[in-house]
Structure 1
Amino acid sequence: MQTVPFTLTDKDVENFTQEIMALRRAANERMSIDDFKHLKKIERWGKLSTLAGYGTAWIAPNPISAFLMSQGNVTRWTTIAHHVLHKGFDKIEGIPERYTSKGFAKGWRRFLDWNDWMLPEAWSNEHNKLHHYNLGEAADPDQVELNLEWLRDSKLPMPLRYAVVALFAATWKPLYYAPNTLKHLTSTKNNVLGEERDSATLTQLALWNPLNPAARDLWSKCLLPYIFVKFVLIPLAFTPLGPIAVINVWINTLLAEIISNLHAFLVIVPNHVGNDILLFEDVANNKSEFFLRQITGSTNFKTGGDLNDMLHGWLNYQIEHHLWPDLPMSEYQRLQPQVKALCEKYGIPYVQESVWVRLKKTVDVMVGNSSMPRQKSVSTNKRSQTSTQHTKSTPEIISA
């Protein structure tokens, strides 16, 4: 399967846009407290996984306890924090404020709602704004091919390149997301395709220099709080069971951290990478162009069923999520077949494959075995002027 640049007539673009917007209006009408109850159910599953993991972690170092601890960690980020911070539940009346974007993980609640390597507001800025509104462009801070030009263009032997990717996958939350999200919180840059990226090795090392004010924030607000809670406070809570129990919990916590990084890498990084996913050499010019880019710049994995979707962190609905990031995740289960059918109707590429197939395509791009096709407009040969002009600072464009 390989997507190539394509064109649609202005009429098809307009009709497609109207049908996409109609799907959103129907979702708005369906939205109810049941969507929040669904979130709570998945949250319970994640908490039960965490409790089961810690409940057995003191016995001996083992992969089962570590995986259960990791699954709880991944669920808190990819499913709960992700959709709440995207305002997915803000429009549902009667829910607690801590499940809205204004109350979630704010202040001391950070340690209850989402204690992770990243500062919640930093990740929300980098992901919800910079990534979603610059998808597939050079200004997208998570554009994998452009971020890894240094590895793709290096003279390292291929086995060593794969080793670099494996090491990155096992450590990418503290080494990539924590410093980069904090950096973008204080300084956002609009890179132009072809310019030197901000992710050079020297720049990355500077982010860890304690003499750098930004690095001091990294240590004081991101790394040290997480390390203290996960690797000191929680293991010490098992002291009544003896020193061996404390050591076992510490080892399983470290194993869970590695598994969590690998799991998150598997379901997040391949979302917008592959030789059948488009990179864009200019900015989206209107609403139609924006919608089309979210589809041709994204890929879905296997969808359907709460357990399957939870294991994928609900990132298996990446196309639908990028079309409407401010919807409850339960809506993506309903919308996915409709969006896929709509794309088939208009001949718009809709990429959906196993996460393992997508991982291989992603790694191929990362090490330089393949490249992503470039394109300017994915709508028409001439820019359609009939749709509302796209302004990246106005999220209403995806809520229409």
Structure 2
Amino acid sequence: MTTPFQLHDVDVEQFTHELMALRRAANERLGEKDFKHLKKIERWGKWCTAVGYGTAWIIPNPVSALLISTGNVNRWANIGHPIMHRGYDKIPGIPERYTSKGFAKGFRRWLDWADWIDPAAWNHEHNRLHHYNLGEASDPDQVELNLEWLRETNLPMAVRYAAIGLFALSWKPFYYAPNTLKVLGKKRTLAPGEVRQPGTLAQLKYWNPLTPEARELWLKCFLPYMALRFVAIPSLFIVSPLGPIGAVNVFINSLLAEVFTNIHSFVVIAPNHTGDDLILFEEQANNKSEFYLRQITGSANFRTGGDFNDFLHGWLNYQIEHHLWPDLPMSEYQRLQPQVKALCAKYGIPYVQESVWKRVKKTVDVMVGKTSMPRQGAVSGNLRPGVLAGEVTTNAKLPL
């Protein structure tokens, strides 16, 4: 049984007015408390890293590896992500290294952003193309379009699920690092009628060592990261009580931590905009109101509330609020989420929020071709009546 999604009677202009009032109130609240909150979350990640490495030399074990991995995810999702979105730029007196202009710049590249992904490539691919082309062909992270090759294959369904499992284990180096560099090199969005190139399997030239693209990938991303994570850091533990064995133990735990980091990142990122209850947009938005509605109807939240819960989700459980206002601090999303959800309920606008595990299942089902996302074109005028192209049919109940 299908559930029709109609917004014929929604006063979109009034909804947008009330939505912007929430943003203005958030701007007025911005201050030192938001920076203190960021520093607290940063400390949590540093504690995880310190305890993880502080015990990793003893024996290869999943606890140390998981703590190291949690520190890795924290630096990317909870620290680098909002800072590079200019989330803290407007706070008076904040140190430059916590602003988008100073974070991961110059020698701080490997202090602030010790990751497979090049910061400039991430900024272009994610902060610009993904956020402002959400769910369109120009969105480099549109999961269903990126995985058309797998969805349309004749492989048995069990093999497709296994392929996604392997993909999740190696997600950052095999997808994000090469794909962000590829998109950065292109430096533009798709022209009308241009055929989209799948993003999941980066172009072969990014893996051919004879091409400049592959050399850039290895010199900017792979070699520096591997030298730091798997050579330099383990080497420090040669002076541990176990000597070289301690260094080997750290190396093994570092490899295991990478697997955990990839799985953790995949789980909290891939389901943000994928599922048979979220919309894939076939055309660009025509105006600001439609843009805001797309950020809501093309995104899904996970369980929200409480710093520890949000820390583990990488603050990516506030995906709707984050896509409405990417340049806000993490702490503001906690305050705004109940208000945005209530506003959507008031106007009858679908607001999808489920546990991360339910969203992962829905995402993987789309990836393997078991389900599909509903399509929708753009609309014209002031979006009333017939907002969001009238009716969209899905195979899932849209929670309000």
User: Where on the TM-score scale, by shorter chain, does this alignment land: which range?
Assistant: over 0.9
Aligned residue for 1:284? 285
Name the CA distance, whole Å, in 2 between partners of 1:239 and 1:3: 61
Aligned residue for 2:248? 247
Name the CA distance, whole Å, in 1 between partners of 2:383 and 2:20: 17
Aligned residue for 2:381? 383
Q: Which moves more between the two structures, 252-261 or 209-218?
A: 209-218
Whether the 8 Å contact between 2:182 and 2:202 is mirrored in structure 1 is no
Compared CA separation, residues 203 and 174, structure 1 to 2 (3 A): closer
The correspondence of residues 78-89 of structure 1 with structure 2, limited to 5 A, is: 78-89=77-88
Name the CA distance, whole Å, in 1 between partners of 2:102 and 2:182: 23
Compared CA separation, residues 190 and 6, structure 1 to 2 (3 A): farther
Whether the 8 Å contact between 2:140 and 2:199 is mirrored in structure 1 is no
Name the CA distance, whole Å, in 1 between partners of 2:169 and 2:113: 20
Name the CA distance, whole Å, in 1 between partners of 2:370 and 2:344: 29
Name the CA distance, whole Å, in 1 between partners of 2:162 and 2:193: 26
Aligned residue for 1:351? 352
Name the aligned partner's letter for residue 35 of structure 2.
Answer: F
Name the CA distance, whole Å, in 2 between partners of 1:287 and 1:264: 30
Aligned residue for 1:206? 205
Identity of aligned residues (%): 68
1:35-93 Cα offsets, whole Å, 9 max, x none, are 00000000000000000000000000111000000000000000100000000000001
Whether the 8 Å contact between 2:169 and 2:263 is mirrored in structure 1 is yes
Aligned residue for 2:396? none
Whether the 8 Å contact between 1:139 and 1:189 is mirrored in structure 2 is no
Compared CA separation, residues 38 and 201, structure 1 to 2 (3 A): closer
Compared CA separation, residues 347 and 160, structure 1 to 2 (3 A): same
Whether the 8 Å contact between 2:178 and 2:202 is mirrored in structure 1 is no
Structure 2: where are the runs of 5+ without partners? 385-400
2:263 partner SS: helix
1:83 partner SS: helix
Aligned residue for 2:222? 223
Normalising by structure 1, report the TM-score. 0.92
2:11 partner SS: helix
The correspondence of residues 115-130 of structure 1 with structure 2, limited to 5 A, is: 115-130=114-129
Name the aligned partner's letter for residue 237 of structure 1.
Answer: L
Aligned residue for 1:396? none
Aligned residue for 1:393? none
2:207 partner SS: coil
Name the CA distance, whole Å, in 2 between partners of 1:94 and 1:2: 53
Name the aligned partner's letter for residue 26 of structure 1.
Answer: A
Structure 1: where are the runs of 5+ without partners? 387-400
Aligned residue for 2:273? 272
Name the CA distance, whole Å, in 1 between partners of 2:214 and 2:264: 27
Whether the 8 Å contact between 1:2 and 1:276 is mirrored in structure 2 is no
Aligned residue for 2:155? 156
Name the aligned partner's letter for residue 293 of structure 2.
Answer: L
The correspondence of residues 23-102 of structure 1 with structure 2, limited to 5 A, is: 23-102=22-101
Whether the 8 Å contact between 2:208 and 2:214 is mirrored in structure 1 is yes
1:292-348 Cα offsets, whole Å, 9 max, x none, are 000000000000000000000000000000000000010000000000000000000
Name the CA distance, whole Å, in 2 between partners of 1:370 and 1:161: 13
Q: Which moves more between the two structures, 39-48 or 236-245?
A: 236-245
Name the aligned partner's letter for residue 349 of structure 1.
Answer: P
Aligned residue for 2:262? 261
1:84-141 Cα offsets, whole Å, 9 max, x none, are 0000000001011000000000011011111100001110110000000000101000
Name the CA distance, whole Å, in 2 between partners of 1:2 and 1:178: 39
Are 1:111 and 2:110 counterparts?
yes
Structure 1 residue 154: Cα displacement: 0.3
Compared CA separation, residues 194 and 6, structure 1 to 2 (3 A): farther
Are 1:7 and 2:2 counterparts?
no
Structure 1 residue 385: Cα displacement: 7.6
Name the CA distance, whole Å, in 2 between partners of 1:90 and 1:127: 18
1:334-393 Cα offsets, whole Å, 9 max, x none, are 00000000000000000000000000000000000000001124xxx752189xxxxxxx
Aligned residue for 1:394? none
Structure 1 residue 195: Cα displacement: 6.1
1:273-310 Cα offsets, whole Å, 9 max, x none, are 00000011110110100000000000000000000000
Name the aligned partner's letter for residue 181 of structure 2.
Answer: L
Name the CA distance, whole Å, in 1 between partners of 2:2 and 2:267: 21
Name the aligned partner's letter for residue 289 of structure 1.
Answer: E
Whether the 8 Å contact between 2:175 and 2:199 is mirrored in structure 1 is no
Normalising by structure 2, report the TM-score. 0.92
Are 1:305 and 2:340 counterparts?
no
Structure 1 residue 2: Cα displacement: 7.7
1:237 partner SS: helix
Structure 1 residue 243: Cα displacement: 1.1
- The count of corresponding residues between Structure 1 and Structure 2 is 382
Compared CA separation, residues 330 and 275, structure 1 to 2 (3 A): same
Whether the 8 Å contact between 1:193 and 1:281 is mirrored in structure 2 is no
Whether the 8 Å contact between 2:179 and 2:199 is mirrored in structure 1 is no
2:371 partner SS: coil
1:160-211 Cα offsets, whole Å, 9 max, x none, are 1011100100101000110111111121353479864312788532211122
Name the aligned partner's letter for residue 255 of structure 1.
Answer: L
Name the CA distance, whole Å, in 1 between partners of 2:113 and 2:5: 40
Name the aligned partner's letter for residue 244 of structure 1.
Answer: I
Aligned residue for 2:17? 18
Name the CA distance, whole Å, in 2 between partners of 1:382 and 1:323: 21
